[in-house]
Amino acid sequence: MPAILRLKVQIFKQVFNFTTFHSFCSSRINISTNPDPKTLNHLLNQRPPLFQLKQVHAQVITQSLSSNSTLVDSLIHCYLSTKSLTFARTLFDEHPNYPPSILLWNLMIRSYSKILNSREPVDLFRRLIGLEHDPLVVPDNYTFTFLITSCTHQKSGLHGIIIHGIVIKNGHLSNLYVGNSVINLYAVFGRLDDARKVFDEMPERDVFSWTSLLGGHAKQGEMERATEIAAMMPIRNMVSWAVIISGFIDCGRYIDALTCFHEMLRESHDSLKPNEAVLVCALSACANLEALDQGKWIHAYINKNGFTKMSNISTALIDMYSKCGIIRDAYRVFHSITQPDVCNYTSMISGFSDHGLGSNALRVFHQMIAQNVTPNELTLLGVLKGCSHSGLVEEGCFIFYKTDRYWNIEPKVEHYGCFVDLLGRAGHLKLALAIAIKMPLDADIVIWRALLSACRIYKYVNLADKILAYVEQGYFGHFNGNEVLISNLYASLSKWERVSDVRKSMSKREHKSSIGCSWIEVNGTIHEFRVDDQLHPQIGMLKDVLKSLISDEMFETEFHK
């Protein structure tokens, strides 16, 4: 059956209701029983919702108006506006004046470009460039901009590189928007030298050109280079600030992220207010630094400027207060949300779980289910963690074994890890070990660590030996930084020879741990310290105070002797 005929049948089966259609038309304009093309086009220009759009389409078919290219063009526009690509594509392929105008080609390519890993934009482009006999339908700057944007959503940048060559060949690279899309393409796929080359060769640049280049370096973790580019930018908009601040967050450089945030506020002088993304990043930095004063200041700023009703900001506030240890304020934020979504619920559940308040986490979880909000993987992970930390074995078992049936979520290795930890903490080590061995996924180091910790707590010598046998047989590779845990386990079991063996193994492999780092907030300022740190501007004074404290302690010790 031809595509256009299938479309007609589908429309008639699903949507054609003349009474409803006539009511829809009459509510807008006085028309006859059979509206003329002008009336139908007027209705289409109002961009009706999908069910009414199909009724208009049915009238086009019944009145044999499918050859009216103006009506068909309007139908395609409307279907694309309602994201009904199947209907739009069928009309496009069967267009009465084929090939359609370049405007319709561009609209189709743009609509498909928003779909991840879609090959349709490239396929449409191949058809387009095959129409060399028609000089009225040739790719233009919009075509290449939409097409290259679609290539950024592919798994590989190969198609984008090929199209870049066609762009150069056809002389479109001098267009600002085409050039920006090419820079963004190379930045997305980490080809920063190519992105910079295109940037340098552009006759004109705007803030988006700079931001794309900046974002490419930030995505690769090259924050020094990203900072240099940001400093050279003639003007920075909120997207630029969001890119560099989130780049610092992704690299774990939370102090730099907050410094950048305050620099943005000073530079803008209220002419450029932070958007949702920037505020979420700033709150994330406060959460990771446990910088409560900074977080409260940002919360006050949010309230003053009317951002509180945004879901992502509410979620970030809950997370910030939870990680700063003020779970009561986290719950106040949560309680103030009129209709919490899955992210709000998940953040609150995780906050209670991290504070060892498993019963509270379960209560919020049940409230979420009662409100018909479907949990996601992170929600279930948070509530399982709460059950584990609070010894709620029955509740945790029920949730774990119902994840697939009730919420259509297949447990991941992280869920198995929480469940094994729950059983291990409660003393059910044999069952926990059986699950770790028989689970359909490969148990990771977190699961084995949980088992070893439980063995140490309950001093289960025989079970510990079985687990360590898996270690020695290479069931999960090398010790992967867990030598200290294993050594302590042997020590708690008085197996001093095994302790010595592990220590020797550590020394042979030149075991190195990451440098310790800590933060402290004093009068709203974050101070960072690392092991043997000599870079703090007040390091001399700090050493003097430390020496004084040590001397006082020694004096007190001698005095009490």
Q: Say what the pLDDT of residue 298 is.
A: 94
Residue 380, domain member (yes or no): yes
550 and 467 belong to one structural domain = no
Decide: 436 and 416 in contact? Cβ < 8 Å. Answer: yes
Q: Say what the pLDDT of residue 185 is.
A: 96
Residue 182, domain member (yes or no): no
Among residues 398, 427, 443, the one where a domain terminates is 398
Decide: 229 and 217 in contact? Cβ < 8 Å. Answer: yes
344 and 333 belong to one structural domain = no
364 and 272 belong to one structural domain = no
With both helix axes pointing from N to C terminus, report the angle between 102-113 and 85-93 in degrees, rounded to the nearest 10.
150
Decide: 271 and 306 in contact? Cβ < 8 Å. Answer: no
Helix (H) or strand (E) holding 520: strand 517-522
φ, ψ of residue 111 in degrees (nearest 5): -65, -45
Helix (H) or strand (E) holding 3: helix 3-14
Per-residue pLDDT of the chain (561 residues; tens, 9 = 90+): 555 555 555 554 444 444 444 444 444 434 445 778 888 988 888 889 988 899 889 988 888 888 899 999 999 999 999 999 999 999 999 999 888 999 999 999 999 998 888 889 999 999 998 886 677 788 999 999 999 999 999 888 999 999 999 999 988 989 999 999 999 999 999 999 999 999 999 999 999 999 999 999 999 999 999 999 999 999 999 999 999 999 999 999 999 999 999 999 888 776 778 889 999 999 999 999 999 999 999 999 999 888 877 899 999 999 999 999 999 999 999 999 999 999 999 999 999 999 999 999 999 999 999 999 999 999 999 999 999 989 999 999 999 999 988 999 999 999 999 999 999 999 998 899 889 888 998 877 788 878 878 887 887 777 777 777 765 665 544 444 556 666 766 676 677 777 777 777 666 655 444 555 565 656 555 556 655 555 556 666 766 666 666 555 444 444 444
Residue that is written with structure tokens 């289409």 in the block: 44
Among residues 287, 304, 338, the one where a domain terminates is 338
Residue 193, domain member (yes or no): no
Query: Quick check: helix, strand or coil at residue 528?
Result: strand
Residue 321, domain member (yes or no): yes
**Among 352, 284, 274, 275, which Cα is nearest to 315's?**
284
Among residues 313, 338, 363, the one where a domain terminates is 338
Residue 152, domain member (yes or no): no
Decide: 470 and 444 in contact? Cβ < 8 Å. Answer: no
465 and 387 belong to one structural domain = no
Q: Find the domain containing 436 and state its range.
A: 412-518
Residue 300, domain member (yes or no): yes
Residue that is written with structure tokens 């949300």 in the block: 337
Q: What is the CATH number of the domain that holds 249?
A: 1.25.40
474 and 497 belong to one structural domain = yes
485 and 549 belong to one structural domain = no
Query: Quick check: helix, strand or coil at residue 144?
Result: helix
Find the farthest-apart pair of alpha carbons in the chain and give their distance in angstroms, rounded.
109
Decide: 213 and 194 in contact? Cβ < 8 Å. Answer: no
What predicted TM-score, i.e. pTM, was given to this entire model? 0.76
- CB-based burial of residue 471 (10 Å sphere; 0-12 exposed, 13-18 middle, 19+ buried)? middle
419 and 497 belong to one structural domain = yes
Decide: 201 and 174 in contact? Cβ < 8 Å. Answer: no
485 and 500 belong to one structural domain = yes
Decide: 314 and 344 in contact? Cβ < 8 Å. Answer: yes
Rounded to the nearest 10°, the torsion over CA 98, 102, 103, 107 is: 90
Helix (H) or strand (E) holding 530: strand 525-530
Q: Say what the pLDDT of residue 409 is.
A: 93
Rounded Cα–Cα distance for residues 111 and 142 (Å): 13
Query: Quick check: helix, strand or coil at residue 356?
Result: coil
Q: Say what the pLDDT of residue 443 is.
A: 79
Q: Indicate the residue type of 174.
A: S
385 and 416 belong to one structural domain = no
Token pair recorded at residue 542: 């700090």
Helices (H), 391-509: 393-407, 413-425, 429-438, 445-458, 461-472, 483-492, 496-508
Cα–chain center distance at 507? 40
Residue that is written with structure tokens 């209670």 in the block: 352
498 and 435 belong to one structural domain = yes
Q: Say what the pLDDT of residue 314 is.
A: 95
DSSP 208-232: HHHHHHHHHHHHTT-HHHHHHHHHH
**Among 407, 406, 382, which Cα is nearest to 396's?**
382
Decide: 407 and 436 in contact? Cβ < 8 Å. Answer: no
Q: Helix/strand/coil (H, E, C) string of 39-106?
A: HHHHHHHCCCCHHHHHHHHHHHHHCCCCCCHHHHHHHHHHHHHCCCHHHHHHHHHCCCCCCCCHHHHH
Residue 104, domain member (yes or no): no
Rounded Cα–Cα distance for residues 50 and 84 (Å): 8
Number of structural domains (the chain) is 4
Decide: 130 and 158 in contact? Cβ < 8 Å. Answer: no
Helices (H), 269-357: 276-289, 292-304, 311-323, 327-335, 342-354
Residue that is written with structure tokens 């009730």 in the block: 406
Rounded Cα–Cα distance for residues 206 and 240 (Å): 12
**Among 218, 244, 256, 227, which Cα is nearest to 519's?**
256
| Residues ≥6 apart with Cβ < 8 Å to 404 | 410, 411
Residue 209, domain member (yes or no): no
Q: Say what the pLDDT of residue 549 is.
A: 62
Q: Say what the pLDDT of residue 64 is.
A: 86
Q: Say what the pLDDT of residue 222 is.
A: 95
φ, ψ of residue 525 in degrees (nearest 5): -110, 135
Rounded Cα–Cα distance for residues 494 and 28 (Å): 87
| Residues ≥6 apart with Cβ < 8 Å to 496 | 490
| Residues ≥6 apart with Cβ < 8 Å to 120 | 108, 112
Token pair recorded at residue 14: 């699903």
454 and 490 belong to one structural domain = yes
Instruction: Look up residue 203 and give its DSSP letter.
Output: S
Instruction: Look up residue 271 and give its DSSP letter.
Output: S
416 and 511 belong to one structural domain = yes
